[in-house]
Structure 1
Amino acid sequence: MSILNKFIKNNFQKPYILVCSSKTHMMYAKDILDKNIVSNELIPTPKGFGEICTTAIKFDFKDKKEIENLIKKSKIEYKGIYSLDNRYRYDLSSVLEMNISDDMKKIINKVQNNEDISKKDVLYLLNRETEEEYNALITTADIIRKECVGDRIELRAAVEFSNYCIKNCNYCGLRKDSKQHRYRMSEEEILEEVDYLYKIGIKTVILQSGEDPFYTTDKLLNIIKSIKEKYRMGITLSVGERTEKEYRLFSEAGVNNYLLKIETYSKRLFDYIHPDDDLDTRVQHTTWIKEAGMRVGSGGMIGLPTQTLEEIADVILFQRDFGVHMIGFGPFLPAKGTPYENYSKSDLKLNLKVVAITRIICQNVFIPATTAIASLNSLGQTLALEAGANTIMLISTPKALRENYGIYSNKNMVDLDFAIQSTLDSKRKLPKYLNYSYIEELGYKIDNSIK
């Protein structure tokens, strides 16, 4: 049995979804269905059935009456039960009028009718080289992005609080054998950065580090609880593989999202880039994160040494089939002092295709214009926003430490100035929740057109 079939793939002949009124009721419903052995899986709520980055429970029509009885008996509050045959339809007539091949039109028609596209279709889109068909792909993704998440970007910020790591990933500058200067931030130092983010209006902070056992469960829980009690901010945690119990404790403490990239869904390539990791284990951890009630952040690296287009297609489709909420695809960039330091960096156009295809097949999710794509090309972030991305992640690590968090070399430090310019260049809007008066007091100039 394949990894996907073993962990996450249910064969729903007539798929339906249950949309609950809150995360608490959703998790309660999930627990009840599991205890009653009713096949189900958690997925991002599709467009037309609920808000972006919320979670629905997918099941088969044959179990509909039993589920209705169970949730009524358990007094679960829910918004509705819906057939996925009634999925949102997109108007892509402008794309179909472009000078594209009949095969391309067939795929666009599938997307317009909100039908799942196949691996063969994804490979076809990855291979598009003519200007007209590339533009058709980007335009399709942009239309879906606008329909699903609108024109306002989501702005988040990362505090990279430790660059120690016990793993030896061949592509990563933080790997255990790296000779770079190491650092760890104290809880007080972390909270000082969070305080700044709170003042400028950021709603979600990303706490990110290498896999560093120095930060025990209790230490992380103390930081999480301090942020929740003082600032009531959303928290994304990205600290590598932890235990099933820890994921549940993090969720109970208020962690909203957990970022654990799969990087590739090819066992061959996963083994090649991760000498001390295992693909089955990574998928199991991602499953535990979802079952703990946190939104799953995943994604992959594009342009890795020896990576094929078929392997890229597989990792894109994994995001859809697993039901990932936040999908970050970034380019491979070589890091000094790693086994891959002399390999060529990734191709910008290929990365933009991947962003576009991900938006087309995953739709109602968060997709960042990554720091890595901004490092690959100075216009990369703007172009990614135009290709379907809707999120920018600021770097809020103290300036004295930033250069030491070198996952790859020549990192572009995406600060507020850079994010503002990318938003302006892509003709998008900044989030309403920012504290513009405070930001302008700090000396930033913000064009009124993007507020």
Structure 2
Amino acid sequence: MVLRDKFIKKDSSEEESVLICSSTHHMLQADRLLRQHNFKVELVPTPRGIGSACTTAIRFAKNLKEEIKDVIMATDIDWKGIYDIEKKNRLEDWKDIWNLEINSKFSRVLKKIAKDEVLNISEIKTLLKANRESELEALFLAANRIREEAVKDTVDVRAAIEFSNYCHKNCNYCGLRRENKNLTRYRMTEDEIIKVTKEIYELGIETVILQSGEDPWYTTDKIVKIIRRIKEEFGMKITLSLGERTKKEYKVFKEAGADNYLLKIEAANKDLFNQIHPDDNYEVRSKHTKWLKELGYITGSGGMIGLPSQSIEDLAKDILFQKKYGIHMIGVGPFLPANNTPYAEYKSGDLITTLKVVAVMRLVCQNVFIPATTAIASLDSEGQEKALESGANVIMLIMTPPQLRENYEIYSNKNMVDLDWAVESIMAANRKIPEYLNLDKLNRIDRSEVDARYTTG
């Protein structure tokens, strides 16, 4: 085939299609091949109605469909099909929303969402500026309905092991920063990590999150040994959250069995990013995010709401960053100050703004995982319930050993979310408890209270 430039300018109204492959390996092969042929393609979470939010599709302009099909068919790439992205029209179904007392500008933006039209930054800001009770009701109703369409009613429950609080970085907001001399440091051994993973496995949870500060003491070989033991002994999905590593390390971790990688941008405004990360680089962080996508990880990112000097436009840019990079798991939560940091005296982010960001993130990104974060639960005892009602669909338990938890102080006064807390939040939000949970492990809740609500997703 003669290579020619297909990097055409694409506007927001252009019809699109996606290529779905049989495995991550074949998807990455197809992505490389199409880029070599100069097709403009993007790796994105698989659109709703076509596949799961935890898989990746290759998106391109619909008018390139036949050419791309010819290229793929000339190879041994195993692909399932090419699907047009169908736009829905929910105007009639959302009549109750239009009957609420909302202004015409706000209504116009929500109607674009109802018709699956792409929002620009100005329109995203319009939604984030909602402050009247009726506008907030409309926003959260719309987000919850898109959530129901995209990821259904079951709340995914995962669990984190914060296995080291050593960090060689010096982020201004984080209590793990290297200059915090008042923090008791710890590192868990491989066997200690495996022991806690077994406890998580016995809860029925299918995904373990291995989280730490940026601690080079845990070499590539040490992390690989932990990944392989978890896979061999429990067969669980593994999310790594280790900060920035080399591309070679990311590749080795993936080959060893890591499924997901969480690397938050925290702030998509370059100046704000540099302000809160004095020894990090925005371009480097963005490049690492691309690497993770290219290596086939289910990628996680996210940001904080209420950072010093953060504006509504900054929050809109955060949402567009997640959309642009095709992030699968988007964790957003309020900024909470940590003791012994330069930001210790700043006020926390507020709950309503955080919930608005969760809702607009769902409306813009749609078929993705959005946690009701631990930070939200730490800010407000009903925060996770409210986040679930605003478009979130994941809760993460803290399974770090009790004697170590207080020292993993990214922020102070953290709510140590456990299985009972998660189940209570899910029930309060009138959402479904996942079938895989072992509810015999509940401590504070009477099992009989939840049996009637226990259902599959």
Give TM class, smaller chain: over 0.9
1:433 aligns with 2:436: yes
Map residues 103-142 of structure 1 onto 2, 5 A cutoff: 103-142=105-144
CA drift at 1:87: 3.0
CA offset at residue 444 of structure 1?
5.0
- How far 1:52 moved relative to its partner? 2.0
Q: Distance in 1 between matches of 2:444 and 2:139?
A: 39
Partner of 2:4: none
1:371 corresponds to which of 365, 369, 374: 374
Question: Is the counterpart of residue 235 in structure 1 residue 249 in structure 2?
Answer: no
**Do the aligned residues in 1 keep the contact of 2:88 with 2:114 (CA within 8 Å)?**
no
Q: Which amino acid aligns with 1:112?
A: A
Q: Residues 36-435 of structure 1: matches in 2 within 5 Å?
A: 36-84=37-85, 86-90=86-90, 91-179=93-181, 180-435=183-438
C-alpha offsets along residues 268-314 of structure 1, whole Å, 9 cap, x if unaligned?
Answer: 11111110001111000000000010011001000001111111110
d(CA) in 2 for partners of 1:88, 1:223: 45
Change beyond 3 A, Cα 1:245–1:429 = same
CA RMSD of aligned residues (A): 1.7
Kept in 2, the 8 Å contact 1:164–1:211? The answer is: yes
Letter in 2 for 1:73: A
Return the letter of the residue paired with 2:149.
Answer: E
Q: 1:139 to 1:403 in 2, by over 3 A?
A: same
Shift of 1:58: 1.1
Deviation at residue 110 of structure 1 after TM alignment: 0.7
Distance 2:75 2:242 in 1: 36
Q: CA deviation at 1:167?
A: 0.3
**TM-score, scaled relative to structure 1:** 0.94
In structure 1, the gaps of 5 or more residues are 1-7
* Per-residue CA distance 1:22-68 (angstroms, 9 max, x = gap): 22221221122233333211001111222222111012335323321
Flag the 1:27–1:168 CA change in 2: closer, same or farther, 3 A: same
> 2:27 is matched with which residue?
26
Q: Secondary structure at the match of 1:300?
A: strand
1:5 equivalent in structure 2? none
Q: Deviations over 1:222-258 (max 9, x none)?
A: 1001111111100000000011111111111121110
Residue-pair matches, total = 441
Tell me, what secondary structure is at the counterpart of 2:338?
A: coil
Q: Distance in 2 between matches of 1:131 and 1:300?
A: 25
Q: 1:212 to 1:415 in 2, by over 3 A?
A: same
Query: Comparing 259-268 with 26-35, which one deviates more in the overlay?
Result: 26-35
TM, length-normalised to structure 2: 0.93
Cα deviation for residue 318 of structure 1 reads 0.8
2: CA distance, partners of 1:93 / 1:82: 30
For structure 2, the 5+ residue unaligned runs are: 1-6
How far did residue 421 of structure 1 move? Answer: 1.1
Task: Tell me the amino acid that sits aligned with residue 320 of structure 2.
Answer: L
Aligned mates of 2:9, 2:246 — CA distance in 1: 25
> 2:3 corresponds to which residue?
none
For 1:245 and 1:335, how far apart are their aligned partners in 2? 33
Question: Once the two structures are superposed, what CA deviation does each residue of 1:141-199 show, in whole Å capped at 9, x if it has no partner?
Answer: 11111111111100000000000000000000000111200000000000000001111
Amino acid at match of 1:26: M
Task: Using the TM superposition, give the Cα deviation of residue 21 of structure 1 relative to its aligned residue in structure 2, in angstroms.
Answer: 2.4
Contact map agreement 1:10 1:40 (CA 8 A) in 2:
no
- In the aligned structure 2, how far is the partner of 1:112 from the partner of 1:241? 38
Residues 89 and 185 of structure 1: CA distance in aligned 2, closer, same or farther (over 3 Å): farther
Report the residue type matching 1:87 in the other structure: K
* Preserved contact between residue 48 and residue 87 of structure 1 (Cα < 8 Å): no
Q: Secondary structure at the match of 1:69?
A: helix
- Equivalence for 1:3: none
1-structure distance, mates of 2:371, 2:68: 35
Measured after TM superposition, the shift of residue 14 of structure 1 is 4.3
State whether residues 141 and 387 of structure 1, in contact with CA within 8 Å, keep that contact through their aligned partners in structure 2.
Answer: yes
Contact 1:427 / 1:450 at 8 angstroms: preserved in 2? no
Find the residue that maps to 2:196 and give its secondary structure: helix
From the superposition, tell whether residues 114 and 333 of structure 1 become closer, same or farther in structure 2 (CA, over 3 Å). same
Paired with 1:443 and 1:141, the residues of 2 have a C-alpha distance of: 31
Q: Are the equivalent residues in 1 in contact too, given 2:43–2:58 (CA < 8 A)?
A: yes
Q: Which amino acid aligns with 2:305?
A: I
Write the distance in 1 (CA, Å) between the matches of 2:97 and 2:108.
Answer: 12
Identity of paired residues, percent?
51
Alpha-carbon offset, residue 121 of structure 1: 1.0
Amino acid paired to 1:53: C
**1:4 match:** none
Q: Name the amino acid aligned to 2:176.
A: L
For 1:237 and 1:163, the matched residues in 2 are separated by 15
Q: Distance in 1 between matches of 2:8 and 2:276?
A: 26
Q: Judge conservation of contact 1:138–1:388 (CA < 8 Å) in 2.
A: yes
Per-residue deviation, 1:88: 4.1
Partner Cα distance (1:205, 1:67) in 2 = 37
